[in-house]
Structure 1
Amino acid sequence: MNPLKYFFLIACFWVATVTAQTQTEKIDALVQSYAKLGRFNGNVAVARKGHIVFARSYGLADREFDIPNTQDTRFRIASLTKQFTAVLILQLAESGQLDLHAPITRYLPYYKKELAEKITIHHLLTHTAGLPDYTERDDFFTEISKRQYDHREFIQKFCSDTLLHEPGTQYKYSNAGYYLLGGIIEEVTHDTYANVLQKKILDVLHMQNTGMETPERLIKNRAKGYNYGPSGYSNAEYIDISSTIFSAGAMYSTTGDLLKWDKALFSNKLLSAKSTEMMFTPFSSNYGYGVGTIKSFVPDLKTEVHFVFHQGAINGFRSVMTHVVNEDLVILLLCNTFEADPNPVSNGIFALLHGLPYSFAGEEK
């Protein structure tokens, strides 16, 4: 899902203060209003300056066994995965194993040559390669996503379509670009993406509740994904997420682990200051490397506020993560009901924390 769609709703807020006790009670009441109407089901975490100020679970991880969501529940994080892919690419660039501005034909010898000679890694990272998004195909969710492919086969079949525009000229959000980045990581390291992710990030940060999902793997405390409609809840449709989404969105995690990730990302623990700055610098349509990034002047503050953010959506799951750089404030929501859009909840929490008007579920204008 394009991370920029909902974000502009909160880009011009001014800042006020609320007591910590009132914050906790009000955030809980706000989220409960959505949960009671089936419009949120999952975990919420808010952290300021590296310290968790709010963490609660809502609804059920498994509706057939009435197992509630807890702080240990693992959710698919969908396109939040792109941040991790971007960091792995930047780490390889820092070590001299690849050049961000080199054509990808240097790293993917099996890729369609006429495309690979035009597209650079920088284009893939910024969604400016001109590649169509294979998830927008009419047959993706009904047919393609239910089959198993090796990554090379999938790239050749579904990430090699005719370009929509010349690389570097326009922004077009595309999962194909981030799938290709995963393929490049595997080619350059001669290892699997999952192994590189584990060694270079997850082990370093002790993210023990995070990894890549595969159909055969048993994952303790994993939430089941659901749809919600007029007839109530139903199971989300099957998707072979490891082979058809891969490095564009196949990770699972917890709110606790993602707060570890956020803290490391903003403290240069994984990347140099130069690489981190590149990652958070918008190139086109307020997108950097794996994240949306906006510096917006807020009239009431008479200053510029820097937001770094992304959201995700995959069968049965939704996610949204926003970091307010000026305040070192993180708002994170992981949800295991696809129709339960977490964006209004996230925006409401932001408004509440800053003394702005907000609405409970069902009261929105």
Structure 2
Amino acid sequence: ASTLLYLKAAGPVIRVFDASANRLLRRLGIEPLEELHHGATLEELGHLIGDSHERGQLPHATAELLDHALGFSERTLAEVMVPRVDVASVRASEPASEVVGLISTYGHSHYLVIGDRVDDIVGVVGVRELMRVAPERVTRRTAGALARRPLLLPDTLPLPGAVEQMQAADEEFAVVLDEYGGLAGIVTLEDIAEELVGEIADESDLVVEWAVRDGGGWLLDAGRRVDEVAQATGVPLPEDDAFETVAGLVIDRAGRFPQAGDVIEVDLGEGAVARLEVLSLDRRVPARIRLATATATAAAGAGARVSAPAQRGAEAPAAGEPVRERMIPAPEARAGAREQQVREREGQPS
């Protein structure tokens, strides 16, 4: 219910942004810094919000809400869903009491019910279904028998369309499928609402800080989107279609699955670099990282630098403990080196 209230409160903001930009700003009590032509772009509106905030004409909370609203219609379910690897599920043949265990462990109110394979989606089961069964019968009923029909949505669906379909189906939980019909992830109305208003505290949520200050850097959940981390930390990490999360950025720049203790240096431009140290892994993918910024070194221009423990699979070094470093040049640098080696073997001048 609280999620629906958030969506109803934020909905008018989205509709207003579809109208004239100047009328929107004046309705909020803000005099536009400059007149916009009809049909202002999202980028122009973003600049207006930022300038008004910097001049003290717009409170921080309002500026943040409007900034989120600007990009809301362009985001898809693939960007906000809980990915497949993080989805907690129960097999249809298992007793319904297994769902009680999942609720105790994860604290969520809905869980995916699957068949023999994770892509064999049977339905959804949760607190609502369990409450309809007498406690003494929970162990005798299967999760599949209690499951309700799932709402299936494509991962390419824009968020406004997803909200419409979920509200029409009176459903707060949806299963997200990829283009092949396989499970891509799950999404709730709360996940979508948080794209507008930020994190929503829920009494059933397990409170976990995903970004924590650590001296001159940040301890981060590597599964967070790059744009989320950039907004939370102020570090302008590069975005790319090849990845969505910070873990994806690290893997992309390293060119392999990293080890605990690896350090990736990413050029931020204007003489600055971001250092991303892999603290822990989950299924070979970075789970926790430490992010810090530093002045660019001469080596940073050659590509991503990786510092790693001397032995493969070793734990991250303790604070102050030296590590062996090696350079992993960018792909173009590696290609250039191979061409140089060929010329040398053939006796051609470089």
TM-score normalized by the length of structure 1: 0.24
Q: Choose between structure 1 and 2: higher helix proportion.
A: 2
Larger Rg: 2
